[in-house]
Amino acid sequence: MQGISMRGQVLSSRLGLLLTLSLVGIVFTSVVILVGVWTRLVDAGLGCPDWPGCYGRLVVPDAERAMAHSPDAPLESFKAWVEMIHRYIASALGLLVIALLVAGAGLRKRRGYPWGVSLTLLVVILLQGAFGAFTVTLKLWPQVVTMHLLGGLAVLLLFLWLHLRLRRFAAGDTGEQPRRRLTPLWGLAMLLLLLQLALGGWVSSNYAGIACQGFPTCNGQWWPEMDWSEGFHLTQTVGPNYLHGQLHADARVAIHQGHRIGALLLGLALVALAIRHWHEARLRPWLGGLVGIYGIQLGLGIANVLMWLPLWLALLHTAGAVALVLCLALAVWHWREPALENNTIRRDKEWAHV
């Protein structure tokens, strides 16, 4: 009996570690996303002209060594350090994913353990590293920058999903209980949020944040001159330096207006979702949170336009997007997953016989 008890304690301790690491991953990924956005907003995306080092070194060198390495890219020490700090913490996030895999390897054969989510997380974080390299080597090509942002949000969602799955695994769920399918309205809300996040990344990567002055009109007009074909030309030439953008004014106005239209459609979908499912007590906090966060995001977006995109306000807008993603994911989770009667970690004896 003592051996069974010790075995159960070891397993419970390991599960507690996994729960902690996955929760840390959610917070840490949010920080990495915000630091990445900060890096772009201070024009430090090309602070180091190479990857993974900076002027061939793991730390920012002095101006003389930087000149010897890349004479066509003069060192701006502040921007280089901003870029390298982003790389350091992104690398630390990758190590956290590996730690989760190692810690959970002994549980991978147990029924209900989310080993597949852990492996998917590793694959996505590796792809994120590749997109980080392409962001530099392709000189801030908007397509890559936008995909890099979406990839960061995908990592965030995977950490959240892993944490939620681990909590159910700890509570005794083997994954065999029936789950509700997503209705078309849920699918529409998810799709519109994804499109709006992509549009936000496209606005940022093409420097269209203040292409429209004023609100609700744009440059004094309800429907100004716009070049939609050029603004959403996804096969732009690879090669130019896209720092500060390459598009003309009408194309940037089209991108900005597209983001505004997307925000309106997303808001309608979220309100419809809240009205449709408000009677469900489990969903009510998350649906209310969705509508509330959306309202704050709308206010932050308007303020960014009226105040000419100050750094702190742009960061808050990104933080709002992260909060919106997390809240919708939690709403989807509580819609799909059946409630568990026992939400406590299995006792030692129960663990020993799994």
Residue 294's CB is within 10 A of a number of other CB atoms, namely 23
Assign 57 to helix, strand or coil: strand
- Residues 224 and 160: beta-carbon distance below 8 Å: no
Question: What does the block give as tokens for 7?
Answer: 């075995």
Q: Which of 83, 225, 280, 341 is catalytic?
A: 83
Assign 54 to helix, strand or coil: strand
83 is catalytic: yes
Instruction: State the distance between the two ends of the chain, measured CA to CA, in whole angstroms.
Output: 16
Question: What does the block give as tokens for 100?
Answer: 């989760």
- Residues 82 and 44: beta-carbon distance below 8 Å: yes
Cis peptide before 310 (omega within 30 of 0): no
227 closest CA partner among 198, 206, 200, 204: 206
- Residues 207 and 245: beta-carbon distance below 8 Å: yes
29 closest CA partner among 94, 82, 126: 94
**Radius of gyration, alpha carbons of the chain:** 23
- Residues 317 and 304: beta-carbon distance below 8 Å: yes
Cα separation, 180 vs 187, in Å, equals 13
Torsion angle of C-alpha atoms 219, 222, 226, 228, degrees rounded to 10: 130
Active centre residues (catalytic): 83
